[in-house]
Amino acid sequence: MNVGIFGATGYAGLEVLRLSAAHPDLEVVLATGDTNAGKRVADHAPALAGLYPDLVYAKTSEASSADLDVAFLAMPHGHSQTLVPSLLDRGTQVVDLGADFRLKDSSDYEEWYGDAHKAAQLLERAVYGLVERHRHELSGARLIAVPGCYPTATSLALGPFLDRGVAADSGIVVNALSGASGAGRATSDRLHFSRLSGNAEAYGLLRHRHTIEIQEEIGAEVLFTPHLVPVSRGMLVTAYARVLDATFTTSDALAHLRTTYADDPFVVVVDEPPTLKDPVGSNLCFVSARVDPRTGWLVAMSSLDNLIKGAAGQALQAWNVATERDETTGLPLSGVTP
């Protein structure tokens, strides 16, 4: 199938390029990047030279003449809204890695992203691409909204307990650590080596945009605090919720996670707390949990690679399911050790 990757110069777009090369059913015929138009992918990202020795970046405006079966959009929020309607009208399936179609209510988008939605009529058509929680809805989907990395890690860790009703749906606290690639390729003061190295800092306090996405997905009130740590990839989430069932134990929690994800090849339930590094390089998400009978808190934990399961890998996984392919096709099931 002919594939176009929009925003293929950023970290997520480059990861879609890399993973697409390993997918037997995908042929990348278009990669856009306006500031790099005319430049070879191999020159912009030498790591991909062996996969794309001749592919040249095009301007986004040139995409109208491309014959595409599917388009992967890996652009900042606000950009997809102007492209998606015309792509769908042309019969192109759309997988959007950005935030534009994740929320169902356009007023939520305006409140949390600060702009009116330009394609609000399409929000109801978009299917949230978290396969483990929306598998049946994805079948045949023509517009897939790929979840954010923080909502993915949080929902996979905490969602099963809210779904079962053993955890309270208010007063939830989520603390998360993310590697610097989660902030994108653009530079900023806090991403300079001299500031980032040996440092850690919270950001987006109280109003991080992923908060509303997490709340919508798990149906709960959340206080979310992300932290930037000095690694290139990786994400570690620790979420706290009040236990409603006094008889619910750690053994019950782990058993419930194993039952929930028994048929999900990319979710690994572990007894010990997951580490940030173990899933790096893979499309895996590690999850675990503890119940503290002394304080009455559930501690739900997860880790993933923010650029793979948190972005590009999840996009391909959701597309596989939407097109009735084996969801593991073209995706790495193992991380990089060490």
Q: For residue 149, indicate whether it is catalytic.
A: yes
Considering the entire predicted model, what is its pTM?
0.95
Q: 154 phi and psi, to 5 degrees?
A: -70, -45
pLDDT at residue 190, rounded to an integer: 74
250 burial class (0-12, 13-18, 19+ CB within 10 angstroms)? middle
Closest by Cα among 157, 47, 145, 30 to 98: 145
Q: According to CATH, what is the number of the domain 149-305?
A: 3.30.360.10
pLDDT tens per residue across span 127-161: 999 999 999 999 999 999 999 999 999 999 999 99
Q: 2-125 belongs to which CATH class? A: alpha beta
pLDDT at residue 126, rounded to an integer: 98
Higher pLDDT, 185 or 111: 111
Predicted confidence band at 66 (pLDDT cuts at 50, 70, 90)? confident
pLDDT > 90 in the chain, percent:
90
Q: Which of the following is catalytic: 149, 218, 231, 301?
A: 149
Report domain extents, the chain. Answer: 2-125, 149-305
pLDDT tens per residue across span 239-298: 999 999 999 999 999 999 999 999 999 999 999 999 999 999 999 999 999 999 999 999
Asked if residues 130 and 107 have their Cβ atoms less than 8 Å apart, the reply is no
pLDDT at residue 87 greater than cutoff 90: yes
